A and B are shown apart, each in its own frame.
Chain A
């Protein structure tokens, strides 16, 4: 299916460390988006990477995409307590819709 599956399901790190989350999917895609969800701000778009791109940066975020392995990763550098949230990848293919997985719950400890 087009649904993304995030790994790990939960991740706990110390403030200042880097956090890496992975996403795998099964069908061809046009692009893949990452979203963050916390209780304060709801579901927020972080970054979009197109199928012909391999890496993209936005502030402390770095996303990679490997279409041959059907996988993506999200790296958050120098994490902060405010980064505590659930992170979802959402592949988008021919149906042009987003299909979310169950997410990675990131906890950043002060």
Chain B
């Protein structure tokens, strides 16, 4: 079974530029999550999708971050404009259920450096 795919793996941009990350979840997984992990901390949930609908985006900084999941499969996360404090690893995860009692499968992440 193929895992969660993410690209790019690394990205370096200057502040005020824009950037987009892509995620392809495990086939058949209806629930998709984006997390932000700052160095030395645990992952923080940014947004949760169930199929192509948003379940929770309460921690997404909506003035600069946006995410979409077209057709309930792939998802993109965009930052525009980026700030220095956005430097982090962005993790995508998927799960076969949104009930919270199923394991989440994580991708390798995209390491973003904002200079």
Contact = CB atoms under 8 A, between A and B. Distances in A.
B25 interface: no
Contacts of A99: 45
Contacts, number: 48
A50 B106 contact: no
Contacts of A31: 100-101
A60 interface: no
Q: Is the interface of B mostly helix, strand, loop or mixed?
A: loop
Interface in B45-82: 45, 48, 56
Nearest to B48: A97
A98 B45 contact: yes
Interface residues of A, number: 21
Given A95-B56, A96-B100, A100-B42, 6 more contacts: A30-B100, A42-B91, A42-B108, A44-B106, A45-B104, A100-B44
5 contacts: A31-B101, A42-B91, A42-B108, A45-B105, A95-B100
